[in-house]
Amino acid sequence: MKLKKYSKIFMGLTLLGILSSCTTAPLTGRKQLSLVSDESVRESSISSYNEFIRQASAKGLLANNTADGQRLRRIGNRISSAVEQYLRENNLSSKAKNLDWEFNLIKSNEVNAFAMPGGKIAFYTGILPVLNTDSGIAFVMGHEIGHVIGGHHSEGASNQALAGVAASVTGLFAGNLVTSLVSEGLSIGLLKFNRTQEYEADKYGMIFMAMAGYNPADAITAQERMESIGGRNIEILSTHPSGKNRVEAMRKFLPEAMKYYKK
């Protein structure tokens, strides 16, 4: 009985801590769970990314010196400059200090791309013919970076930590679970984003590409191209909202994104 009583007390204290451990999403203003610090996530992400690139290089899978690799860096430089400008103009300059941009192209037929905290971006060659245009690449890159700027990686890690705390409380005490998750090398790249986060990232992607000089209307075309071959195994779409709803949301946001467009 005493153990049950103390478990309830601990659960109450834990919930109070959780309620006070929230941040605000920069673009939408929604509340985000923040049990795992951005710095911890960034350090873990950079370590994982560096190991991923090291292994790709050892296997001869880096395509950075190709024409497509140079193209990716050129687009990346424009998008990263737009991201930093956006952060400055929205009083988020502190986020820019932790961005050490890196763009790598991986030889793979997989239709995928990702960005990790710290400004680490990777595209697979398989996605390039699907996106077809520079503006399509710019949108996907902006979308993936949007997950970083939106704090979605930290939010996802925090949700995992919360699930672990809830499971542990039913037993004895959780201990320093968050520290344990991070120290064990939490695989940030494997976190699955929810629908709300995907919609936010779409908005970021359209804003960033517009600020970089790419027509945000092209984001809708790129999305429709990816959805049109959805019968194939497209990893980048595996956790995203349904194509119809997503395109509709992008169309609704287009007038706002056009305000940022630099022709």
- Residue 229's Cβ-count burial label (10 Å; 0-12, 13-18, 19+) is exposed
* pLDDT-based confidence at residue 209 (cuts at 50, 70, 90): very high
Domain membership of residue 44 (yes or no) is: yes
Domain membership of residue 215 (yes or no) is: yes
- For residue 151, CA distances in Å to 57, 129, 148, 187 come to 29, 30, 5, 16
pTM: 0.77
Between 152-166, 184-198, 243-257, the lowest mean confidence (pLDDT) is in 152-166
Domain membership of residue 117 (yes or no) is: yes
- The Cα 50–Cα 52 span in angstroms is 5
Domain membership of residue 42 (yes or no) is: yes
Counted domains in the chain: 1
79, amino acid identity: I
| Average predicted confidence (pLDDT) for the chain | 78
pLDDT at 104 over 60: yes
Percentage with pLDDT > 70 across the chain: 64
172, amino acid identity: L
C-alpha closest to that of 177 among 187, 190, 163, 198 = 163
Domain membership of residue 47 (yes or no) is: yes
Handedness of CA 74, 78, 79, 83 (dihedral sign): positive
Domain membership of residue 92 (yes or no) is: yes
Residue 184 CA, chain-centre distance (Å), reads 21
Provide the domain limits for residue 147: 38-152+190-258
Which has more confidence, 155 or 188?
Answer: 155
